[in-house]
A and B are shown apart, each in its own frame.
Chain A
Amino acid sequence: MSPLSSSKRRAVVVFALAFCSGASLLFGQDQSATATISHQVREVFERAAKAVVKIHGVDKHSEICGTGFFVDPTGTLYTAYTVGGEAGNFTVEFGGKKCPARQLVADIRSGTAILKVDETTPALPIGKSDELEMAAPVISVGYPLDLPKTPNFGWIAGFDRKCLGRYFSTIHLRVNAPTQRGEAGAPLLNMKGEVVGIVVSGLENNAACYAVPIEAAEKIRSDFVRFGEARHGWIGVNNVSPASQQVEGSRAMVTQVAEDAPAGRAGLKEGDVLLEVGKKKISDPEDVFDASFYITAGDTVPITVMRGDQKITLQVQATMHPAAKTGMLLASPGTIPGVIPMSLDDDATPSP
């Protein structure tokens, strides 16, 4: 083997030096990125932790424990329906003290519940789940088991309308973040520390979880502020099927309209292709679930359709959802032990 010439030796040394410096730079960047993420998560956790509470309640089986968070300084807090929906005698732990809480609304359709503590409280800022993108980083803060407040870091893994053949009432955020028992009702935060969802369930060994978008909970709160209860609207479309061809980007065709229903009275006809329901754009029949969730009984909803080659916007006054009337959607506060019954002024137009 002939010895290397001096120029070749110099080239090898330069290459080795370049390789070492490049590797150290990459390693340094990797360390730096990890440190940045860790720092951001810690910062969001520290800011949000004050407004996150542990909820104790008693249902017909035993004591339950879950998580919740304040959304205004007057002590209104959001949690999951499974925590605050069917239990009573709520106690909320925050700031080193325990306070009694009462249920304001329990809405099984969205899977959320609203409780109230008569205290001045810290509150989390409300964000927009619409702005989240796939793989956006998110943080949840909850109380796993009997352990203290814990941050969980993950990312958005999907915007699901259904899981295992079951349709959700509204789009659910699938989050690849580990979640433990006791963390139902935990806030899902974006990297700015704003709430974008409420953790409602785990998924497959709790390595991931589902969160209801914060807009769904805000809709329920808005209904409560306006009417004293959740008011799921209904316009009387009995069936929507996929159209044979796309019209204006939509394949959601109305195939059955209920007789003497608000939609029929407003002029909606079978064969119309839905383009927009309220503020939500429709492109598939499945989109109507999410759009219809945000309809409030008593409100006038603009519905844009394509009829032939004509684009029409109809104004439909929604009535109370029939399922709500039969008690399928709402857990009536009067039926829940320990819940103060409210006087509800039912001024909705009677549904057919």
Chain B
Amino acid sequence: MDEFNDNEIARLLRLKRYEQPPPAYFENFLHEFHRRQRDELLRQPLWRICLERAHNFMLQLDIRSLASYPTAVAAMLVCAAIFSLKVYQQPETARVASQSPLTLSVPVNSDQEWNLASPVSTQIFRTQPLRSFRESAQTHRAAPPRYVLDSVPVSYEPTFKF
């Protein structure tokens, strides 16, 4: 700083102000940068470049974290096994209530029109109940229960007949 006094610095700054880069300098800047980088690399022998790359790659891999991979994979497999067991478990078959009424079902050969003249033996009776006794109030927890109180009585007499 001692070599320059203030006047010299001011003069240099004035000169810098009018200093302009050559035409297309900024357009070619990136291309020029990559070219110089390649030139710099190619000055080294190939084996050294490979060694450096391998070294960098190994440094990027965290060995300590790699050591916990098998544990994590094993835990994931156990979870997946348990989850799949739960999901694919066969649902319990609904118990058939013995008291449930027999309901007439469609005949086996449903193509043919069923009529009263059809023999009884061709009809099948569905023994499965309309609603199983196991299906209790708890199975409808998703919907809120209806608390019953109508606005008018259901009792209704339409005529004076008796």
Contact = CB atoms under 8 A, between A and B. Distances in A.
A58 B131 contact: yes
A340 B99 contact: yes
A193 interface: no
B25 to A, nearest CB: 79
A154 B71 CA distance: 71
Contacts of A288: 160, 162
Interface in A309-352: 334, 337-338, 340-341
A172 B153 contact: yes
A182 B147 contact: yes
A292 interface: yes
Which range contains the number of A residues in contact with the other chain? 35 or more
A342 to B, nearest CB: 11
Contact of A168 (B131, B149, B153): B153
Nearest to A86: B154
Contact of A337 (B130, B146, B152): B130
A334 B103 CA distance: 10
Contact of A292 (B130, B133, B146, B162): B162
A200 B131 CA distance: 27
Given A91-B136, A109-B155, A63 B162 contact: no
Contacts of A91: 136-137
B28 to A, nearest CB: 76
Contacts, number: 151
A108 B101 CA distance: 22
Given A108-B154, A167-B156, A202 B149 contact: yes
A257 to B, nearest CB: 11
B147 A202 contact: no
B145 interface: yes
A239 B149 CA distance: 33
Contacts of B149: 66, 82, 179-184, 199, 201-202, 206, 209
Given A285-B160, A337-B130, A340-B99, A201 B147 contact: no
B113 interface: no
B135 interface: yes
B137 A89 contact: yes
Contacts of B93: none
B143 interface: yes
B156 A201 contact: no
Contact of A63 (B101, B133, B146, B155): B146
Interface in A116-156: 144-146
Given A57-B137, A239-B161, A240-B160, A170 B155 contact: yes
Nearest to B152: A201
Interface residues of B, number: 34
B162 A89 contact: no
A82 B148 contact: yes
A235 B148 contact: no
A212 B130 contact: no
B140 interface: yes
Nearest to A335: B101
Given A57-B137, A83-B148, A184-B150, A235 B162 contact: yes
A237 B152 contact: no
B134 to A, nearest CB: 9
B155 A172 contact: yes
B154 to A, nearest CB: 5
Interface in A59-82: 61-66, 80-82
A206 B28 CA distance: 87
B76 to A, nearest CB: 40
B6 interface: no
Contacts of A203: 151-152
Interface of B: 97, 99-101, 129-131, 133, 135-137, 139-141, 143-162
10 contacts: A66-B148, A82-B154, A89-B135, A109-B157, A167-B157, A182-B149, A277-B162, A289-B157, A338-B100, A341-B99
Given A65-B148, A170-B155, A337-B129, 11 more contacts: A57-B137, A109-B155, A169-B155, A181-B148, A182-B147, A182-B149, A202-B150, A210-B153, A237-B160, A240-B162, A338-B133
Interface of A: 56-58, 61-66, 80-83, 85, 88-89, 91, 108-111, 144-146, 163-164, 166-170, 172, 179-185, 199-203, 206, 209-210, 212, 234-235, 237-241, 277, 285, 288-289, 291-292, 295, 334, 337-338, 340-341
